[in-house]
Amino acid sequence: MSDYDVTFAKEARTVTVREAGGGLQLTVEGHTHEVALIPWVPPTHFILLVDGSSTPVVVMRAGEELRVTVGFDQHRVRIARSVPVPRRGAGGGSRSSEVRVEAPMPGLIVAVQAQSGATIEQGAPVVIMEAMKMQMEIRAPSAGRIRSIRVQAGQEVSKGQVLVELAAETTA
């Protein structure tokens, strides 16, 4: 299960994505929908299935946004992996902990943005991954130092596969 911040029609929403059967289950504002994106004329034309209803859509990349055309309506959509908010404990101070950044779904590694040994900030992109014909940035859930990079560009990955190991600074 993964959370994404989706900006659509200038409104931001958190969308929870879970694999279900041959497609995905998306939960937005407490409402869950069965969704599948079926290639029609790759790489831009698809059939979008939402709760059993089908709609043709065209998806094109426009910089960091996607232009999604449904019928005669065109929408600009921005998708980013939600970054967990760090929590502070009662003790104060900080310590280092091991964090594994995992693939949210099966896909193809397009690029590795981080370097082993580098110090990164929370929310910094570490890997760019393509799944279901869409690219997404996989971001660091916390600040820290990259311990190891377990993937390379062009590599197929499965859901839950470790992409990057991070020695994160956590507040205790």
Per-residue pLDDT reduced to its tens digit, 40-88: 888 889 888 888 899 999 999 888 888 999 888 888 888 887 665 444 4
Whether 98 and 121 share a structural domain: yes
Whether 114 and 140 share a structural domain: yes
- How far apart CA 34 and CA 141 sit, in angstroms, is 27
Count up the domains in the chain and report the number: 2
Whether 67 and 119 share a structural domain: no
Whether 22 and 63 share a structural domain: yes
Question: What residues have CB less than 8 Å from 113, skipping those under 6 apart?
Answer: 124, 125, 126, 127, 128, 137
Whether 75 and 105 share a structural domain: no
Domain extent, residue 159, equals 94-171
Q: Which of 54, 81, 108 is the last residue of a domain?
A: 81
**Region 4-23 average pLDDT:** 80
Which residues, in sequence order, are bridge partners of residue 1? none
